[in-house]
Structure 1
């Protein structure tokens, strides 16, 4: 059987399965809830969804709401005794030109992290899209000053108490002139006290001017004596404030390297990764079709110009858009840093940047033009698997380039066991009908058969 014929068979099978589900009792029970979720679009989306787009969004919402306990007969799949658990996501494969971007935006607006989560206010449409170059990571210096003052006050009290004790000892010594005063040597005490003050100062002070070269661990080659530095309250290393920002309110500052060892920050944000050539399309579509007050969006350009955005700051957005190129560069930093650290006998002057993207558990992760992750050795596929999210979406108009085996990269990205193991995946491909049955629940495809200004005829091959 030719490759094209087999693809047609796959899409026809998928169409048949989804049409059967659409007429099932289970589907009717879900309709009321899905319609209620789509009502959110009335106040946030400036364009009305076409019928086929609404069907696509409802399918996406069903996938995101799915749980292992609620898997229907259409989602039940057992492979060689292994009960396959489908992800809370899938492959959106509408043909080019049918509005996949709008469908993804509609899904984002219909299913936020929680109903009571409010987006940060945006003053006007021109401020809807921010870039990581102009993101204001301002930290109120008066808050920092207050923290420093309180801690200095605490140390002052300790010193006063210590001085009173010393005065008392001196008075006792004066009364007993013939008795040699006990206690530690005054010179040793002064030395130890100075060392103690130096240590506590590095811990408690948030921002200092200048630092000891030995404590500086930054991913730049700036002179530490020139710029203000900030101290990590976990490992006590220092970085330039201009490179990493500074903590907000009463939050403790954590350096980029300590963030990678911490449990990722849970977020209601959707991370969208696309090729460089179409990343601007997402920005245009959002500005054109979404009300400016509905979403807070960041175009993330990476640790550009040696600037690091704190994971907690990233997590506050509704949408973060970046590119495969940025992702590839940033996630390659990790292996480079580990390798260079093993080889060097002495401390490095500056360190390789680390990405904040892996320090966030995203609410939703969308790979646009997801066919870029095809193949078992794809660097893009491995890179995408480093990111954590609740929902995962592969968005592509051409999910299959040559044969169905091309889908392996997407299956690996979605994390569907046991088929992340390539040997198991090829075993599944040997059984054509089983392969179709496995793919049907997670694949949606609409194709354009005839298109004109006046009419549009669609064959829905979900």
Structure 2
């Protein structure tokens, strides 16, 4: 087993996510007139058989640290893109020896650790008046905006829905060929019922390794693969979903994601549009349907009460992956948070988790738990691949 096998496993989980069970496996029909259905693990009663359980594409990549999880995930990203027919032969970028991957991971980790101790860059939190995306009417604010942009001529565009005039630069509308795309302002985009389906994979990781992720992407993938470092509305303004749709990979830190909670339905919280002199953009991360969301160091979202966990669950995506070398930190119960993020029904609900998996495991019956995770969980340790290292 090697990196190629891991990529093949992930592709298979995205192409054929079915786990081989149905609603009928969890309910017993009571022969009454009319019949009732008894839930085996929760004790609930239903007057009809509940809808089929949803098992979304995705899973858990839990190779031991140093075995190239980053490279394996890049292999998945390059081999299975939105709209493409997937191939079981992963992209050549992951066809490298295990020992090379091990050395590369060690070097990258050391470099990332050194860079984390360097002075922080000039990226600062924007002033509130500079966060607005609409063309300002208030003279005092106009003057301050003019001072910060005295040389450049501000290019604007009008929202087709509400008529608000927006600065193209502040919504990243001037960063790509948008001439043929209808424009909707951030507030109207957020109100749209259907989310824009984009090709991008969103990678969420601790800030200390986001730069490492960026460098790994640049090192391993082709030049035509576009990558974006997402620093948040507070730091760089509103990255319009149409702009995000042009990216292949978007990298975001846990810290940035947590801060985005302050930019959910911003204008509704602050007052009506007519009463606002300037409009604060909502986070665009929740306005799209990502092709794939991958959480690195996913043990962080095992806690179901953290802001990061809440934001991760709010993200809409076709495929969901947990990346962690330590899926269990102190108890098998830690795995429940990962199931919640992936959305594996019915086990992502606490009463089903407890009744069908956790309590049987506690009582010495691990078969149900092992059976489920054997289908969605991939893990190699250095001992598993030692023969490949020796051959090298």
Q: Settle same-fold status: TM greater than 0.5.
A: yes
Q: Secondary structure at the match of 1:447?
A: coil
> Cα deviations across residues 226-248 of structure 1 (Å, max 9, x unaligned)?
85543222112233333224472
Gaps of 5+ in 1: 1-50, 118-132, 135-208, 458-462
* In structure 2, distance between residues paired with 1:246 and 1:101: 31
Aligned equivalent of 2:67: 98
> Does residue 267 in structure 1 map to residue 198 in structure 2?
yes
1:316-331 alignment runs, 5 A limit: 316-331=246-261
> Does residue 441 in structure 1 map to residue 375 in structure 2?
yes
> Does residue 430 in structure 1 map to residue 359 in structure 2?
yes
Aligned equivalent of 2:306: 378
> Cα deviations across residues 146-192 of structure 1 (Å, max 9, x unaligned)?
xxxxxxxxxxxxxxxxxxxxxxxxxxxxxxxxxxxxxxxxxxxxxxx
Cα root mean square deviation, aligned: 3.6
Aligned equivalent of 2:170: 243
- 1:108 equivalent among 77, 83, 88: 77
Task: Describe the shift of the 1:426–1:299 C-alpha distance in structure 2 as closer, same or farther (beyond 3 A).
Answer: same
Task: Describe the shift of the 1:78–1:338 C-alpha distance in structure 2 as closer, same or farther (beyond 3 A).
Answer: farther
Task: Describe the shift of the 1:92–1:456 C-alpha distance in structure 2 as closer, same or farther (beyond 3 A).
Answer: farther
> Does residue 57 in structure 1 map to residue 4 in structure 2?
no
> Cα deviations across residues 316-345 of structure 1 (Å, max 9, x unaligned)?
211111111111112331155543338x9x
1:217-296 alignment runs, 5 A limit: 222=145, 229-246=156-173, 248-262=178-192, 263-293=194-224, 295-296=225-226
Task: Describe the shift of the 1:112–1:301 C-alpha distance in structure 2 as closer, same or farther (beyond 3 A).
Answer: same
* In structure 2, distance between residues paired with 1:371 and 1:210: 43
* In structure 2, distance between residues paired with 1:246 and 1:286: 25
Task: Describe the shift of the 1:212–1:285 C-alpha distance in structure 2 as closer, same or farther (beyond 3 A).
Answer: closer
Q: Secondary structure at the match of 1:288?
A: helix
1:54-133 alignment runs, 5 A limit: 54-68=4-18, 71-72=19-20, 78-80=25-27, 84-115=53-84
Contact 1:211–1:229 (CA under 8 A) maintained in structure 2:
no
Contact 1:378–1:409 (CA under 8 A) maintained in structure 2:
no
- Shift of residue 93 of structure 1? 0.6
* In structure 1, distance between residues paired with 2:329 and 2:183: 47
* In structure 1, distance between residues paired with 2:222 and 2:135: 46
Higher radius of gyration, 1 or 2: 1
Q: Secondary structure at the match of 1:430?
A: helix
* In structure 1, distance between residues paired with 2:260 and 2:369: 35
- Shift of residue 272 of structure 1? 0.8
Paired residues in the alignment total: 308
- Shift of residue 312 of structure 1? 1.1
* In structure 1, distance between residues paired with 2:269 and 2:230: 26
* In structure 2, distance between residues paired with 1:67 and 1:450: 26
- Shift of residue 305 of structure 1? 4.5
* In structure 1, distance between residues paired with 2:351 and 2:268: 30
Contact 2:198–2:289 (CA under 8 A) maintained in structure 1:
yes
Aligned equivalent of 1:184: none
- Shift of residue 105 of structure 1? 0.7
> Cα deviations across residues 17-39 of structure 1 (Å, max 9, x unaligned)?
xxxxxxxxxxxxxxxxxxxxxxx
Contact 1:95–1:445 (CA under 8 A) maintained in structure 2:
yes
- Shift of residue 291 of structure 1? 3.0
Contact 1:272–1:368 (CA under 8 A) maintained in structure 2:
yes
- Shift of residue 213 of structure 1? 4.7
Aligned equivalent of 2:336: 408
